[in-house]
Amino acid sequence: MTQIYFAATPKQWPLYRDTLAQACARLGLDVTITQNAPDPAAVDYIIFEPDGVIQDFTPFTNCKAVLNLWAGVERLVTNPTLTQPLCRMVDPAMTESMAEYVTGHVLRYHLGLDGHILNQDGIWRHDHIPPIARKRPVGILGMGQLGQAAARALHSLNFPVMGWSRSEKSLHGIETYHGEAGLVQLLSRAEILVLLMPRTPQTENMLNAARLALMPRGAKIINPGRGPLIDDDALLSALNSGHIGHATLDVFRIEPLPAQHPFWGHPNVTVTPHIAADTHPDTAAQVLAENIRRGEAGLAFLHIVDRTRGY
Ligand code: NAP
């Protein structure tokens, strides 16, 4: 019998208990799933999330993998006690949600929706007709699971999409860039920029004052990646000078974003409370079960985290 220790936050337990048991049963797995582990050495798999109930993975000497419920792993890769294989969450419903969030906010900017929805004042303004999407270049920093899904969604609406990643990529219909020179090219053309990179020492503050200055005047920024990707002070001064037209931020250095933070109430910032793309238990349970099946069959795990890269 395979022992699964559900060590995510307790509020997740009712969402996963039956769904995960059913997903394992469908794959023919004989498992017990528990919310506690009196004998850590008997645990085969740990299901985890940051702020979960354990911090020390040392006693789980026979654990074959730690399966994270979140896509981001920055708070796990620095845990020195976590020596077991670590898998991050790649959930098809989360991917879909992110593509929807990005597309919605890109269209808001592209069509100038705020100008019509907010503060209707009885004045007939016929002076701003948006261009068609194919004339609005959008840049995406981070072309992994989520960046590629967002890119495909925007490409299907005819936006010219440019994507930047650490490694070189070739994606149908998307202009792909890598390296510093590629980043400069992308930033200098992106009228709307989407950040979908992980937080690592290399990506921290990557959107700094010098790089913001490369962007076209009035460019918009959408950050559903991680807060520390942006130098907050540099962004605020670019917003205050009008060089950056608006920013939609879903993630922050401190979450929840403190009530006194200047992003709240800034006329050119929209704050969303880390809701761009949640993990959906019904689809995520299938991903967890498939990885457990693979572990039991001696196959390679899916979505394994590379500790040296940090994502
Ligand atoms: P992923 O598949 O690992 O993709 C990450 C992308 O970032 C890859 O294209 C990677 O390049 C690129 N990258 C990493 N380090 C880089 C660097 N130093 N320079 C240039 N590119 C770099 O991750 P994902 O599943 O798409 O998720 C991305 C992030 O979204 C997560 O880490 C998490 O922080 C965030 N997220 C947010 C929410 C939300 O609700 N707001 C939900 C889920 C995830 P390579 O392709 O070359 O490796």
Asked whether residue 99 falls in the same domain as residue 54, the answer is no
Q: pLDDT digits over 93-104, tens only?
A: 999 999 999 999
Asked if residue 306 is part of any domain, the answer here is: no
The atom number, within ligand 1, closest to the CA of 88 reads: 25
**How many structural domains is the chain composed of?**
2
179 with 67, same domain: the answer is no
37 lines ligand 1 (CB under 6 A): no
Q: Is 97 in the pocket of ligand 1 (CB under 6 A)?
A: no
Q: What CATH number is given to the structural domain containing 106?
A: 3.40.50.720
Which own/partner pairs from 297-304 qualify as long-range (CB within 8 Å, at least 24 positions apart)? 301/65, 301/85, 301/87, 302/87, 302/90, 303/87, 303/88, 303/89, 303/90, 304/85, 304/86, 304/87
Q: Are 122 and 99 a contacting pair, CB within 8 Å?
A: no
Q: What is the pLDDT of residues 29-49, one digit of tens each?
A: 999 999 999 999 999 999 999
Residue from 68, 13, 2 nearest 36 by CA: 13
Please give the pLDDT value at position 128. 85
- For ligand 1, atom 37, the nearest C-alpha belongs to 225
Shared-domain flag, residues 86 and 97? no
197 pocket-lining for ligand 1 (C-beta < 6 Å): yes
Task: Tell me the pLDDT tens digit for each residue of 245-291.
Answer: 999 999 999 999 999 999 999 999 999 999 999 999 999 999 999 99
Same domain, 134 and 199: yes
Question: Is the minimum distance from the CB of 223 to ligand 1 under 6 angstroms?
Answer: no
pLDDT reported for residue 119:
82
Q: Are 112 and 229 in a shared domain?
A: yes
| Predicted confidence (pLDDT) per residue in 180-228, tens digit | 999 999 999 999 999 999 999 999 999 999 999 999 999 999 999 999 9
Same domain, yes or no, for 286 and 253? no
- For residue 127, pLDDT over 90 is answered with no
- Let me know whether 79 and 101 are in one domain: no
Q: Which atom of ligand 1 is nearest to the CA of 168?
A: 47
Q: Which domain holds residue 6?
A: 2-91+279-297
Distance CA 279, CA 295 (A): 22
pTM of the model: 0.97
